[in-house]
Amino acid sequence: MAKPIEFKAGSLHAMSAVLREIDNVRLADALQVMLGGIGEFFAGEPAVIDVTQVTQFPTRIDWPGLQSLLRRYGLQPVALRGAPEALHAGARKAGLAILDGLDKEPQLPVTPATETPPAPEPVAAPAPSRGSPMVIDRTIRSGQQIYARGSDLIVLGAVSNGAEVIADGNVHCYGPLRGRALAGASGERSARIFSSNFGPELIAVAGVYRTFEQGIPQALAGRAVQARLQGEGEQASLLLETLITD
Amino acid sequence: MTRIVVVTSGKGGVGKTTSSASFASGLALRGFKTAVIDFDVGLRNLDLIMGCERRVVYDLVNVIQGEANLHQALIKDKHCENLFVLPASQTRDKDALTEEGVEKVLNDLKQMGFDYVVCDSPAGIERGAVMALTFADEALIVTNPEVSSIRDSDRILGILQSKSRRAKEGQEAVKEHLVITRYSAKRVDEGEMLSYKDVQELLRVPLLGVIPESETVLQASNAGSPVIHNKESDAAEAYEDLVARFLGETREMRFVSYEKPGILKRIFGGA
């Protein structure tokens, strides 16, 4: 007879929202800047709120506020990682699972099995798998936005001022890049931006961004340039290099 | 086969209505049966530029709402045999423009055998502007050589790509033409103004014409006679070239280079 309920161990692929501070107002601002206020930027992916990098915790945290902020961008917060014990009760009450201690050593339910199951082979973290790239033939105009979810984005026209091109993978621009380009939008730090005629308003890789208030450096303006991340954590910055194309 | 041409820009005050009036007149002078429609409901201007403001009885909104038929509302132009003006309403608001209503008016104009219907778009990217471009086959993007005008034109090009009927139904895209107005070759030469080549490079749309800044444009507006009729004016010649290029002729760009007055001209004054 089939049991009405069964428990199985499984793994869940989730986005990590790594916070460096917990202040909903500042987070809202930062998300606005990063994602340009695009509602539903994500597609309802489950997310773990990771606060391991937070150094100062407020005494009370507005979890529902934080959750609704993430939901506004299409993330579904399901769990919390790295918070001090004092905050666990509040987070649980808000419906977040506490992952600390769980995900390091998965606690298997003790079953009266006679045989110990063979330990699973350690699997190397898979290389970022991507769909085939999205190719846009035309010029992307001010106010338009293109998002290549889970793939590279190749733009053959120009990206105008006030336009935005976003990819989870790399962004390649063959026409002049004058708007915003964001690569590694779901956090892939190895993503890059390639431009054959460099002149953007903003570029970002995995959330690390750079604007050009003082204008594009002379050595890069109008040239073929790639942008990629260098350094780790807080020190991460965008490295811009001209490309030799002939 | 009727072609619907929208004259649009995003930004206001760049010369849409002036261009619509001269472009439509130019087509009519070439013998094409042409209608020009003012979509700027609430801020009608085209009738003034065309000099028919005293003959407005019915308007676009009256026709859309079935209070008048097209024959009653179309005003015959005083200069051209083949040109008719459909004015905007000054009293209604732009919500009176419905997609079905506009489509019906345009279909009726097709039935009446018009060769070209020129839609003079209001500024902005709201309802009136979207209605004016929804059914377009071709678009004249009017731009001043100035960054904010260029950005707004870029924006309206994006809207054309997403909201036009052709885009929505996956047909051949709306044919885009760039029209640069209020161009001063002298100021470009002095480095105060973007050149037409800069503008074209930024917008990446084929250039149909460059209209020089000219006093005659203002005079023509005040006189209620599209500037293309003023034979002495550079702007008139530039609009005539523009119409010729639109109809597939090859014409060299004029009024785009500046020659410093020679010493004799400086001493004895301009001839």
Q: How is chain B split into domains, by residue range?
A: 3-269
Provide, rounded to the nearest whole percent, the portion of chain B with pLDDT above 70: 99
A15 has a pLDDT exceeding 70: yes
Q: Who among A138, A142, A175 is closest to B154 (CB)? A: A142
A76 has a pLDDT exceeding 80: yes
Q: Once rounded to an integer, what is the mean pLDDT over residues A59-81?
A: 84
d(CA B18, CA B184): 17
Helix (H, G, I), strand (E, B) or coil at A53: coil
* Residue B167 Cα distances to B4, B135, B162, B172, B179, angstroms: 15, 10, 6, 8, 22
pLDDT for the residue B100: 95
d(CA B134, CA B9): 14
Say if the Cβ atoms of B151 and A142 lie within 8 Å. yes
Q: Which CATH entry fits the domain spanning B3-269: 3.40.50.620, 3.40.50.300, 1.10.3720.10, 2.40.50.140?
A: 3.40.50.300
Structural contact between residues A104 and A123, judged by C-beta atoms closer than 8 angstroms: no
CB of B12 less than 8 A from some CB of A: no
Question: Could you tell me which CATH class the domain A15-98 is placed in?
Answer: alpha beta
Interface residue ranges in chain A relative to chain B, Cβ cutoff 8 Å: 138-144, 157-158, 160-163, 175, 178
Structural contact between residues A129 and A148, judged by C-beta atoms closer than 8 angstroms: no
Q: Once rounded to an integer, what is the mean pLDDT over residues A27-54?
A: 77
pLDDT for the residue B270: 53
Residues of chain A contacting residue B159, judged by C-beta atoms under 8 Å apart: 143
d(CA B127, CA A9): 55
B205 min Cα distance to partner chain A (Å): 10
Residues of chain B contacting residue A160, judged by C-beta atoms under 8 Å apart: 151, 154, 202
Spell out the residues 6+ positions from residue A103 whose beta carbon is closer than 8 angstroms to its own.
A81
Question: Could you tell me which CATH class the domain A134-242 is placed in?
Answer: mainly beta
Say if the Cβ atoms of A139 and B204 lie within 8 Å. yes
d(CA B227, CA B218): 9
Q: Once rounded to an integer, what is the mean pLDDT over residues B79-84?
A: 95
Spell out the residues 6+ positions from residue B249 whose beta carbon is closer than 8 angstroms to its own.
none
Residues of chain A contacting residue B161, judged by C-beta atoms under 8 Å apart: 138, 141, 144
pLDDT band for A37, please (50, 70, 90 cuts): low
d(CA B249, CA B254): 15
Q: For chain A, which residues make up each domain, given as ranges?
A: 15-98, 134-242
* Mean pLDDT over the full length of chain B: 94
d(CA A243, CA A223): 8
Q: Is the pTM of this model over 0.80?
A: no
Is there a common fold for A15-98 and A134-242?
A: no
Structural contact between residues A148 and A164, judged by C-beta atoms closer than 8 angstroms: no
